[in-house]
Amino acid sequence: MPRHFSEKGFTLIEMLVIAPIVILAIGAFLTVIISMTGQVLSSRGSNALAYDVQDAMNRIEQDVKLSTTFLATNNVTLTASEQQGYDNLAANFTNVDSVKGPSLILNMLATTNNPISTTSSLVYLTDQPNACASAQLKDNTPMTFNIVYFIKDNTLWRRTIMPSNYANTGVRCAAPWQQPSCAPNYTSSFCKTNDIKLVQDVTANDFSIQYFTTAGDTIPNTDASSTSASIQDRSKALQSTPTANISLTAHTTVAGRAIERSASIRATRLDTNASTIATLTTPTTPVQPKVTSTTTAPANAVFTWNAVDGATGYNFRYNIDGDTSAWQTGLTNQNIRSFTVPAPYNGAVVNAEVVAVNSAGTSPVTTNSVTIPIWMPLFLGNNWVAYSTQFTIPAYTKTKAGMVVLKGMLKAGAGTIAILPAGYRPSERVLFENSSNQTFGRMDVQITGAIDMVTGSNAWTSLDGINFMPDGTNFTNIVSFSNGWVNFGAAHATAAYMKDTDGRVHLKGLVKSGTATSGTPIFNLPVGYRPAEYSHLVNVNSEVQSHISVVGTSGDVLAKGGSNGYLSLMGVYFPSGRATGTSCTTQWCALPLVNGWAHYAAPYSTPQFTKSADGMVHIKGLVAAGAAGVMANIPAGGYCPKEQLLLTAANASGWGRIDITPGSGSGCTIVSSVVSSTWTSFDSISYMGEW
C-alpha cells in the first residue's frame, strides 16, 4: 500500500466555511474604524468651529471697548474706487437690514501702534486747532476710522474702513497703524490688506446685536436696532448706548454630522462718555462763521465767532469808520476765534470781516460792526461818588483828534479820584483850574493816570472842562522864553505847543520865576498857531485863580499878574484859520447873547461858537455889562451837552463859574453862576456836543 503523508492548510470545504466569518469580522472592524474616525473628525470640526466663534467674540469685545460710539451707518465717506463698501464698491453699511442682517459698525480712534501696546498714542489732525509740534497737541481733534462686522456669503467678516486721505501727511500729525481692508480678490491701490474672515456658515439670522443704555440694563434700546427707524433716529439712540450684547451661531457638517456652536458676549466701551468724533474726510469749503461783537474799556472792540466744522483757521480784518482803503489785517489762517481791536478814539465805528479757512478754500465773508461808546465811566476811589444825575456823571473819552476829555461832578471823597488807563494819560504832570464848592480848585493829572484833587472841597468839585493831549503827542517845545520865565521842571509838563488834526492849538507846561506883571510876555507863538483875536485862557497861578492871554496879532503869550511861583499854561483854542466855510462845524458862528450881555470890544475875542470834526464844541468871546441868569443861547443840532456842565471862566473878579444847561429841543443855555459884568471870558469853554 502507498504511504500517506499529512498536509498543512484548509480544505475547500473549510475555506467555504471560514471565508464568510472572516469577511464579517473585517466588516465589523472597518465599521468600528470608520465610526472612530468620524467621531474624531466631528470633534475636531466642532472644536475648530467653537474656537472660530469664540475668537470672533473676543475680537468684537476688544473693538467695542476701544470704540468711541456705535454707528447706524459708516461715517467715513466711501468711494467706488476704494472698494470698501458692502458691495465692494461704495454701498454704505447699516447696523440693521432686513435682508443683509445686522452689522456692528464702530467708530474708532486711529493710533500710531497696536492700540493695546504701551507705546501707542493717538493720531491727531494737523492744525485742529494746534500745530503738530505744539505742546498742546493733545487738544487737537483725533483721527478716526470705522470697523465693521458684517455677514456676507454666509461668513462673518471684519472690515477696516479708513478715510480717503488718511495717508496724507498734510492732514495728520503721525502715520496711523491701522490700514484699510477690502474683500479677498478685490484689489485697489487704496486697500492694503484683506478683510478678516472670522466664521463661515453663518446666516443673517445667526448674528444678532442688542444695545443697552447702561452696562447694567436688561432691557435693550429698541430704537437703536429698529428696522423701521430712520438712520438719524438710530444714530441718536446709539449715541446713548455704551453697551452691546452680541450673539453668534455657526452651523456646519463634518463627517456627516451636523455641528452647531454658539457664543454671546456683552461689552461696554471703556469711555462711556465718548461721543462720535468727526472722521477725517476730504475737506469741503467751510460754511460762513457767525460773528458777535462787544466793547470793553477804554475803546476796544471785541469780535468773537463760532468754531466752523472743518476750518483749520480764520482770517480777520477790520477798518475804522468804513474806510475800506485802510483795511488792517488781524489774523491770517490762524485757529483763533476772537480778536480785540483797539480803536483809536471813543465813538469810532469798527467794521470787521471774518472768513473760515481750510485746504479747500474760504467761507463766505461774515461782516460785523460795533460802535465804541463815546464816554467810558471813571471808576472812582477814595469814597468819591457822583454828585447827582442832574450834573455830569464822571467819565472820560478820547476824541477823533486824540484829545482826552474829562467830565463829572463829584463829592464826598479825598485825594485821588480815579486812574485813567494807558493811552489816556499825559506824558508829564499837568495842572488845571476847576470849580470846587463855589470857589477856585486845582486838579492835577499824573503820568500814572491818577486824577488828584490838590486844592478844593469834597462838598463838590468838577472835572468839566479838563482836557489835554495824551502821551505820544508830538509837541514843539518852547526854547526861547521872555522876561525871566523858565520851565518849572520836576516832572511837570515842559512849555510847548502843537496843532491837532482838527486844527486846534494846544498849549501845555508849567513855568516859573519870570515877571508876572499883567501884560508881560512869557514866550511867543509862530504864525499859524495864533488865535484870531486876543484871548483869555483860564489857568492856575501859585494855588490861586489866574488866566493867561494869547495875542492874536503878535502871538505873545502874556502873564496877567499874580505870582511867579508857578504858572500853568494848559489851554486850547482855534487859530485864525478856523474862519472858513458856511457851517458852524467849519467856521465860527455868532453866539446869541441875552440879558444885556454884549461883546466887550475889539481886539478881544468876539462871542462865537463852533464845533470841530471830533465833536468838541468851543465857545469864545469877552463879554460884559449883562445881568445875572442866562447869558447866551446855543442852538440844538449837536452843539449841546446831554448833562449840565459846570465850567470855570476867567473874569474881572478872579475865579468864575459858568454853567451850560441842556434845555428843550431848541437848544441849551449859558448861565451865569459866578461872573463879572465888568468882563467875563468864554475863551476856555469847550465840551463834547451830543444833541
Residue 27 lies in a domain: no
For the stretch 360-389, pLDDT in tens is 899 999 999 999 999 999 999 999 999 998
CB 609 within 8 A of CB 591: yes
Max CA separation in the chain (angstroms): 198
User: Is residue 274 scored above 70 in pLDDT?
Assistant: no
Say what percent of the chain tops pLDDT 90: 74
Q: Are 627 and 500 part of one and the same domain?
A: no
Question: Exposed, middle or buried by CB within 10 Å (0-12, 13-18, 19+), for 28?
Answer: exposed
Residue 18 lies in a domain: no
pLDDT value of position 685: 95
Residue type, 22: V
Helix (H) or strand (E) holding 263: strand 257-268
Residue type, 490: A
**CATH of residue 364:** 2.60.40.10
The number of domains in the chain is 5
CB 672 within 8 A of CB 629: yes
Of the candidates 201, 191, 257, the one whose C-alpha atom is nearest the C-alpha of residue 56 is: 201
Q: Are 209 and 156 part of one and the same domain?
A: yes
Q: Are 79 and 127 part of one and the same domain?
A: yes
Q: Are 146 and 233 part of one and the same domain?
A: yes
The residue out of 434, 468, 502 marking a domain boundary is 468
Q: What is the extent of the structural domain holding 304? A: 291-371
User: Is residue 413 scored above 80 in pLDDT?
Assistant: yes
For the stretch 215-258, pLDDT in tens is 899 999 999 999 999 999 999 999 889 999 999 999 887 767 88
pLDDT, mean of residues 323-330: 96
Q: Are 167 and 71 part of one and the same domain?
A: yes
Residue 297 lies in a domain: yes
Q: Are 437 and 583 part of one and the same domain?
A: no
pLDDT, mean of residues 114-128: 90
Choice between 26 and 81, residue whose per-residue pLDDT is larger: 81
Q: Are 207 and 101 part of one and the same domain?
A: yes
1: confidence class by pLDDT, cuts 50, 70, 90:
very low
**CATH of residue 555:** 2.60.40.1830
pTM: 0.65
Q: Write down the residue that cell numbers 466588516 correspond to.
A: 27
Q: DSSP assignment, residue 130?
A: S
* 474 Cβ contact list (under 8 Å, min separation 6): 498
For the stretch 432-488, pLDDT in tens is 999 999 998 999 999 999 999 999 999 999 999 999 999 999 999 999 999 999 999
Q: Write down the residue that cell numbers 447702561 correspond to.
A: 214
pLDDT, mean of residues 252-280: 77
The residue out of 527, 556, 576 marking a domain boundary is 576
The residue out of 398, 433, 468 marking a domain boundary is 468
pLDDT value of position 503: 94
For the stretch 23-78, pLDDT in tens is 887 877 777 676 676 666 667 778 888 899 999 999 999 999 999 999 999 999 89
CB 520 within 8 A of CB 539: no
Computed over every residue of the chain, the mean pLDDT equals 91
